[in-house]
Amino acid sequence: MNKTRLNYALDWVIALAFALSAITGLLLWLAGSGGFQGGRNAGFRTVVLGVSRWTWSDLHIWVSLVLVAGGVVHFLLHWDWVVCVTKRLLRPTRSRKRDAGSVA
């Protein structure tokens, strides 16, 4: 697989993981915890779209881990670009040298 196809596939994995993480996070937030229920936690027995809160929570954690792993791999694949741009930003440009020389 060439680098372009790898980047394209990785970007789709990251985008899908982000979308699933956002959706499951929103569902968990909207479902609420159920609060104190007289000694029983009914909130985690809440069913949203036919799926228990525990399952939504597990799905949210796993897709979030995929998102983080995809981000790390993406960063590593583009390490040369990061180094190049960082060096360019930290190196004084010709116009900055020229401006500094004309002030003196």
Domains in the chain: how many in total? 1
What does the pLDDT look like over 38-93, one tens digit per residue?
555 554 556 777 877 788 889 999 999 999 999 999 999 999 998 998 998 898 87
Rounded CA gap, 6 and 61, in Å? 25
Give, in degrees to the nearest 5, the angle at Cα 61 between 57 and 64.
135
pLDDT tens-digit map of 19-45: 999 999 988 887 766 555 555 555 455
Is 99 inside any structural domain?
Answer: no
Quote the CA–CA distance of 98 and 104 in Å, as a whole number: 11
**What does the pLDDT read at residue 29?**
82
pLDDT of residue 33: 64
User: Domain of 35?
Assistant: 3-78
pTM of this prediction? 0.67
Q: What pLDDT is recorded for position 50?
A: 80
Residue 91 lies in a domain: no
Coil, strand or helix at 48 = strand
Q: Evaluate whether residue 62 is within a structural domain.
A: yes
Examine residue 55 and state whether it is found in any structural domain, yes or no: yes
